[in-house]
Each structure stands twice: as structure tokens, then as C-alpha cells.
Amino acid sequence: MNITTELRYLSQSDIRLLGGDHSHAFMSAIEEGLRLHAKRQFVQPLKPYLRWPDAPHIADRIIAMPCYLGGDNPIAGIKWIGSRQHNPTKHQLPRASAVIILNDAETNYPVAILEASLISAMRTAAITGIATKYLAKENFKEVSIIGCGPIAQMQVQTLLEQYPQIMIVNLYDLNPAAADMLISQFATRFPNVHFTIQASAEAAVKCAEVLVTCTVSDAPYIPFSWLQPGCFVSNISIMDIEKDVFLKADKVIVDDWDQSNREKKVINQLVEEGLFSREQLHAELGDILTGEVGGRDNDDEIILLNPMGMAIDDIVCARWFYQAALAKDIGTRLPLF
């Protein structure tokens, strides 16, 4: 294929055909991306947030996420992801949508466009999946999920696919129907797992050995006192965890410090208040994967992962599916000229 005259479009159906409906491909790609991050073989500008006056919710924005990945197979790309809180109720559409453009690193010409909402959700779940291997208790069996929308569905899928020892999944959502829907998706596929809808966020948090937040909350509500000894918290939705957790947890880990310390998120607030700093951070996640920094030391540690979400995650997954599409000749070939 002449990369200067043609690009390949991969729809969500194409990505599912290439293995995008399972967590394995994402786990493999994300681990590679985190290792490249630890080796500093990337360029990742801070992502800009595009908002306008009639979009008042924290989730109402479009984000541009550019990245260059080095290593053995360099590539560049950008994810353009839009979100509107009212989409499900007003337009009967998922809250978020996204596309990824990949560029050849030799010519800088575009080589692929990928529908990216599935990639975006599954790569986020893979972060939890990989971090759980290093940061959760080895024998954990009970997981709690706060928020039961599409992001939560991918988190549950990844954890159950990757950790067959899980016996109990506790769910809480302000909308009980969302929890019911999540159970209906997975109960038959994972018959040995007991799904429980908890009456409150506090009840769900208190029984969690692994806790995953998947809400669109714009204010923290989970205090340190709710967490049991040994809990691993994957704070996917960023704003759910109270400040005292960051200050009292045994270890706080991020995916990327510069990305995490911005946009008035909780870490950024703590830094501006003089209560937290990079020196108090235990590690970036990639450094734990490469062995530069240790992960969990004992079963009583409370460990908080606060992943802001990186363009690296999207581009390394998009590269995986693009390469798979070329090998299997899947997707729609589009002329540039």
C-alpha cells in the first residue's frame, strides 16, 4: 500500500472483528505503552479541553489527545473525543464518541482513521486490569464498581476476563436500572460470580478489595474511612476520591504526573494547596511495570491509582488494531487524493 495516497478506515465493527470485544489485545497493547512511557520513548503534549458556555457539566467537552510513540515501530496519532452529559436522555446516544487518526512517522501522512469509542473504553479498563496485577492483593476475590454505565461495563468485563478468582462484584449507581443492565450483560457469561447491588456508595466501597470508580461526578464523596485495609482503588473517573485518601493512602500512583496535575482535579488542588507533591507520589505506573519501583509490599496497604488517561493508551491500541487490520486486510481503504 502506498501510504502517501491511501488510508484505512476501521469502524467499530471492524475493530470487534479484530478482537476488540475482548480485553486481551488491549492488555497487551497498554502494557507496551506503559513500558514506552517508563523509557520516555514518547512525545505527549498536554491535552487541551474544548468547552463552550452552553455545556455546563464537567463531562461536556471535546478533548484533543496527540501522541508520538517511539520504539521498534514508531507512529504518531491523535484521539478527538467528544462528550455530552445529555446525549443518552436527549438524543438516545452514548455520552461519548471518538475517532483516532494515525500518521506514519516517516512521512507524517495519515494512514488510518479508527472509530475510537470502544478503544477508549477498553483501553481505560486495561489500565485497571494491568494495575490490579501489581497493586491489588494477590488473593483478592471481591470487587466494587461505583457507577454502572458503559465505562463500568468494560471495567467489569476486563476484570472478570483477566482475574477468574473474582467471586463477588458489588455495584452501586444512582440509577438502579443501570446496575440491573450491567448484571444482565455478564451474569450468564460468568455464572460463578455473584453480583450484588448495594444500597449506597458507602456500602459498596466498604466491602471492596478492589474498587473502581466509573461515574461522572464533579465532586469527591469517598473518604478514607470507607476503605478497608488492603484495598486497591482504581480511580478511573478521577473526581470521586476525597482529598484525605491521597494524603492517608500508603501509596499514590498516577499514569503520568504532568497529565494528572492539572485541570483542577483533586491532585492539582492538593498541589496548589501545598499538601501534595511529586515527591510524595509513589510512582508512575509504567515504572512499576518495568521494575524501577516496587508495587504492593503487603496485604494491608491501601493503594490509590489515579490515572488521568493518556494519549499513549489510545495510540498504542490503535496501532495494534491497525497492524492487525493490515495483516488481515480488514477495513475500508480510502484514497487521499
For residue 24, give the H/E element and its range. Answer: helix 24-38
**Residue 193 pLDDT more than 80?**
yes
**Residue 200 pLDDT more than 90?**
yes
Full 3-state SS string of 238-281: CCCECHHHHHHCCEEEECCHHHHCCCCCHHHHHHHCCCCCHHHC
**Which grid cell sits at 253?**
500512583
Neighbour-count burial of 284, counting CB atoms closer than 10 A to its CB (0-12 exposed, 13-18 middle, 19+ buried): buried
pLDDT at 2: 44
Look up 206 and say whether it is catalytic: no
Provide the pLDDT confidence category of residue 5 given band limits of 50, 70 and 90.
Answer: confident
Distance CA 169, CA 118 (A): 23
β-strands 110-115, 96-104 pairing:
antiparallel
Angle at 156 between CA 31 and CA 82, to 5 degrees: 75
The residue among 76, 85, 27 whose CA lies nearest residue 58 is: 85
**187, 197 Cβ separation under 8 angstroms:** no
Of the two residues 55 and 114, the one the predictor is more confident about is: 114
283-311 pLDDT tens trace: 999 999 999 999 999 999 999 999 999 99
Burial 70-97 (b: 16+ CB within 10 A, else e): eeeeebbbbbbbbbbbebeeeeeeebbb
123-145 pLDDT tens trace: 999 999 999 999 999 999 999 99
**Residue 324 pLDDT more than 50?**
yes
**Residue 249 pLDDT more than 50?**
yes
**29, 315 Cβ separation under 8 angstroms:** no
Provide the pLDDT confidence category of residue 240 given band limits of 50, 70 and 90.
Answer: very high
Provide the pLDDT confidence category of residue 4 given band limits of 50, 70 and 90.
Answer: low
- Give the residue-averaged pLDDT of 12-40: 97
- Give the residue-averaged pLDDT of 255-268: 93
Percent of the chain at pLDDT exceeding 70:
99
Q: Which of 79, 90, 251, 264 does the annotation list as catalytic?
A: 79
Percent of the chain at pLDDT exceeding 90:
91
- Give the residue-averaged pLDDT of 272-292: 97
Domain architecture of the chain: domains with CATH: 6-119+312-331 (3.30.1780.10), 127-309 (3.40.50.720)
pLDDT at 1: 40
Distances (CA, A) of 29 to 166, 213, 318: 24, 23, 9
Burial 227-239 (b: 16+ CB within 10 A, else e): beebbbbbbbbbb
